[in-house]
Amino acid sequence: MARERVIAAIDIGTTKVCTLVGGRGRDGETEILGVGVAPARGLRKGAVVDLDAAVESVRASLEKAERTSGFKIVSAYVGIAGEHIGSQNNRGAVAISHPDHVITPDDSVRVIESARAVPVPANREVIHIIPRAYAIDGQDGVKNPIGMHGFRLEVETHIVTGSATSIQNVMKCVNRAGVEVDDLVLQPLASCEAVLTEEEKEMGVLLADIGGGTTDLALFVDGAVWHTASLPVGGWHLSNDIAVALGTPFPVAEELKARATQVMAHLVDPGEMVDIPAFGNEARRRVARRELCEIVEERVREILQLIIADIKRTGYDGLLPAGMVLTGGTANLVGIDRYAHDQYRMPVRVGRPRGLRGLTDTVSDPAYATSVGLLLWGLKVSEHEARAIAAKRRPGGELARRLFGWARELLPS
């Protein structure tokens, strides 16, 4: 396949670090050229807590991706998430000063800059400013105003911020592994690229990416992101519950969660047993599989309750015709989609990366939605946009970074 661009993406998660190398051909298809997965060390709930250990995890992932792809990775799109992430919506407006009142890219820059005029504490940084929709002279619902006529341009934006310390630590981690950061991308927004359809975004949909240490949310209404959040609970907590309740080592609990659990515990035969290895010299013992599943069901119920509670605060809990899409490693639990549907009476499906070719055996799993989404996000960026984003690493390049969301939305793929 003739490829126009080859880029890399790094998903730094709580349980694993995944690096992908891929390209998009002239036929529009995306090919996965290299995959590198390494256990995560030095990370907790999306934040770096041991820089040296985290660097080694990133480096191991990079080396594997380089071996499988044959490409040397010098820069990458990097995902970011965690409890430190915050978001809000804000509007901006400017007058069109051009003599013939044709809206230009400069006007779009000015109106988005006006929307950014919200207080941001010194210890936080803006990650994305994403325009949801524009209005020209009071006419709402404009997707791309450039080239249109008007006297007043308004924009509604979704602004994502994060802890400056957490952001810098993630970037330092990647830099010390020998790779430049093309841009930071909020992980649930990346996952949306891999698993959501345009129709779902238009109708109204909630993506819940249940990872190892966090559950990351992105809510879309009328084709644009309305709300993002990160909840401090994930698949690690399910494994920990099993380990504590059954007195078994954590790696064994992880294995049991993956191979022996069904979220809807009442569907499991009460007489079915599983072997449970114990600590030290204690003999293996057998427990009812239903007991194991009940432990998982309780934690899944709590995670879903936290998700719904967060969405209720947005006012859109009953206005999601396309329902909920579950992705991330925990979405592999048997019955989780049916359980969520029965609990909340909305459409629920498990989101898997789609539309790929090449080395897809691994990355077609929901656990790799963010990794694939980061790659797709980067491939959407034109060379012009890439140069603007790279300018953020040069003095005076702050504006280019802040307007990354605008550039990605408005300029052609």
Query: Strand locations in 96-176, DSSP E?
Result: 124-136, 139-142, 152-163
Determine the longest span between alpha carbons in the chain, in angstroms: 84
φ, ψ of residue 117 to 5 degrees: the values are -75, 60
Ramachandran region, residue 335 (left: φ > 0; alpha: ψ -120 to 50; beta: rest): left
What pLDDT band is residue 120 in, cutting at 50, 70 and 90? Answer: confident
What is the predicted pLDDT for the residue at 161?
Answer: 94
CATH number of this structure's domain 86-163, picked from the four choices 3.30.1490.110, 3.40.640.10, 3.40.470.10, 3.40.630.40: 3.30.1490.110
Q: Where are the domains of the chain?
A: 86-163
The string of pLDDT tens digits covering residues 218-227 is 999 999 999 9
What pLDDT band is residue 267 in, cutting at 50, 70 and 90? Answer: very high
- Which has the higher per-residue pLDDT, 278 or 144? 144
What is the predicted pLDDT for the residue at 98?
Answer: 81
Burial category of 183 from C-beta neighbours within 10 Å (exposed 0-12, middle 13-18, buried 19 and up): buried
Average pLDDT, integer, range 77-104: 91
What pLDDT band is residue 401 in, cutting at 50, 70 and 90? Answer: very low
Average pLDDT, integer, range 259-264: 90
> Which has the closest alpha carbon to 127: 158, 156, 161, 163?
161
Distance in angstroms (rounded) separating the CA atoms of residues 289 and 265: 9
What is the predicted pLDDT for the residue at 278?
Answer: 74
- Name every residue whose Cβ is closer than 8 Å to that of residue 303 and which is 6 or more positions away in sequence: 210, 215, 231, 233, 234, 237, 330
Distance in angstroms (rounded) separating the CA atoms of residues 61 and 322: 35
What is the predicted pLDDT for the residue at 391?
Answer: 54
* Residue 405 predicted with pLDDT over 50: no
Average pLDDT, the chain: 88
The string of pLDDT tens digits covering residues 291-301 is 999 999 999 99
**Alpha helices, DSSP H only, in 183-261?**
187-195, 198-203, 235-246, 250-260
Average pLDDT, integer, range 268-291: 85
CB 74 within 8 A of CB 390: no
The string of pLDDT tens digits covering residues 38-62 is 999 998 877 899 999 999 999 999 9
